[in-house]
Chain A
Amino acid sequence: MSDPGPSPTPEEAAETGTLAASIALKQRAGGIIVPVVTVVFAFVMSFIIVAATQHSVHTALVVFKEIFLGSGLNWLAHPTTNTFTSISAYNLSQTLLQTTPLILTGLAVAFAFRCGMFNIGGNGQYLVGLIVANWLGVDFAGLNPFLHILLCMSAGTLAAAAYAGIAGVLKATVGAHEVISTIMLNWIAYWTASWLFGAGGALQNSTSPTNPVSNQVSPGARLPDFWGKQGFQGLHVGIFVSLAAVVVFWILLNRTTLGYEVRAVGFNPDAAAYGGINVKKNFIRAMAISGAFAGLAGTLDMLGGAQNYQVGQLDIPFIQVGFIGIAVALLGRNTAVGTLLGALLFGGLLYGSFHGLGSSSVIDPTLASNLTYIIQGLVVLFVGADVLILYVWNSRKKARRRPRGKPAERVEATT
């Protein structure tokens, strides 16, 4: 470190301190600009990929227009009607449906990050929430709906917290790195779910024993839709749970002693220990809270998936929300609001590319469905490489030779 603390050169940023500290450094140095530039870069690169593979700039333009229209975000410009006669309203409701769990898995990754840990186990924790919600949602049929939903959500969340807590305990006691242990936990959750829902499994659909499909959650435990049309999957109230979680995340980090401990440990575990903070306890606790967010996402998808939503062996391998949550959190710089915006972007991208391209036959459907992952990968790449973007940004400033420069050098906001 140079004398005045973290100094602005990127080489040093890489050399010094913990994960969270170096992220904070970048955050201060880049403010809101870097994430925006990151997204733009990712889109430009994907545009180039599409244009190159389709040998046509025109096709690429159409592709991106279709994605945008498919996401329904254009509805926001003309919110003339909220009925499903408007295709854009329908698309937007589906985008928000995708966004709902992404907010939570994003918060999960962000929370662990703020404590200096990398939780890659969002997917596994999500599955645990999903399994428990299914089990209780089927078993307690007839319970008061409100209580039933509450029971499923809290039990699923707690189970996922405990599940993620294992990684925390392993880190605190034997020093096992959380990246390794959460990946292993992902696989355990994956095979457990496959077994439970698979043929002969304990939670397998009792009415059609040959299908590897779970039982349907009892109608009383379903999260009601509030924006949609009879007979279609609409937007369910789970999105309000997700939005509330954003607020909870912010309050927890910034207005509670627990959050203070998390941030202190994330920035500088030595100083935290010196301050009287139990660092190991915080590893376990932060991991559990992180898992709780991801598990809650699983319960919402299970309970909100209404009429025809089931988890079969065929669906489970396609569950990616936990991983997308990593990109969401990175893009959102591990802040509450940033994660919300990141989730919206990825939600729009997921649904927009699936729907907008899947139905419009402008390009090869395989490329269409993979485009989201390409863009996601590019975002992760650029977020990782934002040291580079910072560098470009700084030299651009130098080129303009602004005498006072560095407006973002001191951005204090951490949420």
Chain B
Amino acid sequence: MRGIRKEFPGVVANDEVSFEVRRGEVHALLGENGAGKSTLMNILYGLYRPDGGEIRLNGKPVSFSSAREAINAGIGMVHQHFMLIPVMTVAENVVLGTEPVREGVLLDERAAARRVADMAKTFNFAVDPEALVEDISVGQQQRVEIMKALYRNADVLILDEPTAVLTPQEASDLFDILQTLRQEGMSIIFISHKLNEVLEIADRITVLRRGKTIETVSRHGATEASLARAMVGRDVLLRVDKPQAATGDVLLTVQDLHVRDDRGIEKVRGVSLDVRAGEIVGIAGVDGNGQSELIDALTGLQKIESGAVTIAGRELSHASARAALDAGIGHIPEDRQRRGLVLEFSIAENIALHDYAKPPTARSGWLFPGRMVQRAKTLIKEFDVRGGGPLTRAGGLSGGNQQKLVVAREIDRDPKVLIAAQPTRGLDVGAIEYLHRRLVAERDEGRAILLISLELEEILSLSDRILVLFEGEIVGEHTGEVSEETIGLEMLGGGEKAVA
């Protein structure tokens, strides 16, 4: 790709970007939120047409006017946000568009399921081919996306932040796959904000900043700090400095909570915990061990089977989402596109999502869009949301900026208890640094923070207290120093409690 240019109204997303990938290499693409990584890849994948520049594939100039053409040319892409059909099964999603057929026209479901099951086994993805996509977790959906691209025999595979939702174990499994694919001569473009991953897997690294190519370097000689500097343009603190917590009253209490998921399976099995003002409690666990159901129960989005939830002294066990919000719950949801944002709404309207009916945004049922815009302006500045103004559609923002928007809204509501699920998912190093510091600052303001993250490192560096969730139960609690191995073992059900 040479001299690629792409403008959106008011934004130059790619400005003379040049980028090349060799056969059989893993090439990482780094850059801040909104730097133009996804845009560049969408151009390569035929979803956007560039305003300038040329693309060559195996030396021949090409121009794709649709994703289909790119797919036929051997380019596969796993998007940052999924493109799955929720009401279809895993197998159907994987084979979609290239379905095995029986007697000419009928979809051979069994053959599809079999092939997908084989593939899941070869690549060690724990996914049930018969499950409906809407029923599986975010992490599993990501795996389906990867399988989808692999199924189409791509030679160039683009992965846009594929590990954002994977557990460390799953990520290293993915890396094993990528190594195999590389040996088979496949070219892999890998977008990630996790510098350690990039250094582990990539052969070469290209850094974008504000739509321009900054440099392409080889992995050898690059360090996390040097990459972060190239991305952000300044030195970045990669560790969180955190003063001792000064804890106050208990703000969130959960007693013997039992929750079933939509299919009636008991996912939370007797969880009890409390979080005090001024502390960050981290919940570690492998994806799918009851995190989502726990969060939904606390925020009034899912019915509780039994048990009690109390927020700031108010009993909220069977309360609605509205009541939970009004009681002082803030919630950064794990899936910003499915739940955290109305993509068709403007930034301003999204900022108002919880408090659209309260002054100053509204009075006795009347909405004041001007005030909504005012508030959005302030927050866009404070949280450095890039890529548009208050009237920009949220769907037009880059992934990381969408996340910042959600975070801004939740913190600005001044919640007593903040539930942060994957709060740094998709954020660049600079933004992560900011968010981590902000979470610590909010803690010091006296908020109770419950942090749910699949990233063990994040849990370890931020939490004052760590709880380990395994199969819907708390199997470990740690304060102070604790090793990654100990927690890792507990996350897999191998902790002391399990042994005892």
Contacts and interface: CB of A to CB of B under 8 A. Distances in A.
Contacts of A263: 342, 345
B39 A4 contact: yes
Given A260-B356, A273-B321, A398 B342 contact: no
B81 A2 contact: yes
B301 interface: yes
Interface in B76-98: 79-83, 85
A208 interface: no
Contact of A412 (B68, B367, B393): B393
Contacts of B397: 4-5
From B47, B342, B356, B369, residue with most partner A Cβ within 10 Å: B342
A336 B8 CA distance: 28
Given A3-B42, A16-B83, A267 B345 contact: yes
Contacts of B342: 263-264, 267-268, 271-272
A3 B365 contact: no
Contacts of A410: 8-9, 393, 396
B485 to A, nearest CB: 35
Interface in A370-410: 395, 398, 403-405, 409-410
Interface in B327-368: 331, 333, 337-346, 349, 352-354, 356-357, 362, 365-367
From B65, B326, B331, B367, residue with most partner A Cβ within 10 Å: B367
A253 to B, nearest CB: 10
Nearest to B323: A276
A2 B366 contact: no
A69 to B, nearest CB: 42
Contact of A4 (B65, B354, B365, B398): B398
Contact of B345 (A3, A264, A273, A277): A264
Contacts of B160: 3
A12 interface: yes
Given A7-B42, A258-B365, A270-B339, 7 more contacts: A2-B38, A9-B67, A254-B369, A256-B365, A260-B367, A268-B342, A409-B9
16 contacts: A2-B38, A2-B79, A4-B398, A6-B343, A12-B83, A15-B85, A255-B366, A264-B342, A268-B344, A273-B321, A273-B339, A276-B354, A404-B51, A409-B8, A410-B393, A412-B346
Interface size class of A (residues with CB under 8 A): 35 or more
Contact of A274 (B47, B331, B344, B365): B331
A4 B83 contact: no
B79 A5 contact: no
Interface string B26-51: 00000000000011001000011101
A257 interface: yes
For the complex of A and B, list the 7 residue pairs with the smallest distance between their C-beta atoms, beginning with the closest: A5-B395, A3-B38, A275-B353, A276-B322, A3-B80, A257-B357, A267-B344
Interface size class of B (residues with CB under 8 A): 35 or more
Nearest to B329: A276
B447 to A, nearest CB: 19
Contact of A276 (B49, B66, B82, B325): B325
A5 B394 contact: yes
A145 interface: no
Given A257-B362, A276-B321, A276-B325, A271 B83 contact: no
Contacts of B354: 275-276
A261 B356 CA distance: 9
Nearest to A14: B85
Interface of B: 7-9, 38-39, 42, 47-49, 51-52, 65-68, 79-83, 85, 160, 299, 301, 320-322, 325-326, 331, 333, 337-346, 349, 352-354, 356-357, 362, 365-367, 369, 391, 393-399
Interface of A: 1-9, 11-12, 15-16, 20-21, 24-25, 28, 254-261, 263-264, 267-268, 270-278, 395, 398, 403-405, 409-410, 412
A255 B366 CA distance: 6
A8 B365 CA distance: 35
B338 A271 contact: yes
B396 A260 contact: no
A270 B67 contact: no
A332 B346 CA distance: 22
From B325, B391, B393, residue with most partner A Cβ within 10 Å: B393
A12 B87 CA distance: 15
Nearest to B79: A2
A54 to B, nearest CB: 40
B79 A15 contact: no
A271 B341 CA distance: 6
A273 B9 CA distance: 32
A371 to B, nearest CB: 37
A4 B38 contact: yes
A256 B81 contact: no
A410 B345 CA distance: 12
Given A9-B66, A264-B342, A3 B333 contact: no
From A20, A268, A276, A412, residue with most partner B Cβ within 10 Å: A276
A3 B81 contact: yes
A398 to B, nearest CB: 7
Nearest to B37: A3
Given A267-B345, A271-B338, A7 B47 contact: yes
Nearest to B356: A260
B288 to A, nearest CB: 19
Contact of A3 (B49, B79, B341, B352): B79
Contacts of A2: 38, 42, 47, 79-81, 83
